[in-house]
Amino acid sequence: MSSKSPAIPPMNNSIQHPCPSSLPEDTLAFAERIFDGARAGDITLLTSAIEAGLPVELTNASGNNLLMLAAYHGRDQLVRYLLSRGAQPDRLNERGQSALSGAVFKGWTEVVKALVEAGADIKAGKPNAIDCAYMFKRDDYWQLLGASVADISPDAPKRIP
């Protein structure tokens, strides 16, 4: 079980970002192409863009970074690449969710392995990865997470029937 420092918090809303509607259409189209590429696991597109200077922590309006999008969609090769380029495995989106809890929820075992191997905090976010494994009956993940039923948060939602 990880005993790391607290998870990286969600994006700070006090930081002034340009309003998406004020950005040029071609910039918005490029950003959407990159986010779609993360969802689709387009490692060629993402590798080229990151090597050309695209921030590995590029984040959409919902606070989902490239790693979260790739993890949620089961793109294990892209997840490993993004982690190798410095993506933060404990980053939380605007809802306080982590890439690891999303991968546990969706049942993407290879993504869960990659994130755990990269040191992702199993207690980051709400619900955290342990609580997601409990809620969604992913009992096969206990060993992978290095956790047990005893680690479930007292306020974890009930198991899905």
To the nearest whole percent, how much of the chain has pLDDT over 70? Answer: 87
Whole-number Å distance between alpha carbons of 46 and 74? 16
Q: Tell me, which fold does domain 24-151 have in CATH?
A: 1.25.40
The DSSP 8-state label assigned to residue 55 in this structure reads: -
Q: pTM of the prediction?
A: 0.84
Q: Which residues pair with 92 in a beta bridge?
A: 98
Low-confidence ranges of the chain (pLDDT < 70): 1-21
Name the residue ranges covered by the structural domains of the chain.
24-151
Is the separation of the CB atoms in 66 and 41 below 8 Å?
no
Q: With beta carbons less than 8 A apart as the criterion, state whether 56 and 86 touch.
A: yes
Closest to 121 measured CA to CA, from 94, 101, 142: 101
Q: Closest by alpha carbon to 58, among 101, 91, 21, 13?
A: 91
- 98 strand-pairing partners: 92
Q: What percent of the chain has pLDDT over 90?
A: 74
User: How high is the pLDDT of residue 16?
Assistant: 47
CA distance 118 to 157: 27
For residue 75, give the amino acid letter: R
d(CA 61, CA 136) in angstroms, rounded, equals: 27
Residue 135 has a pLDDT of 94
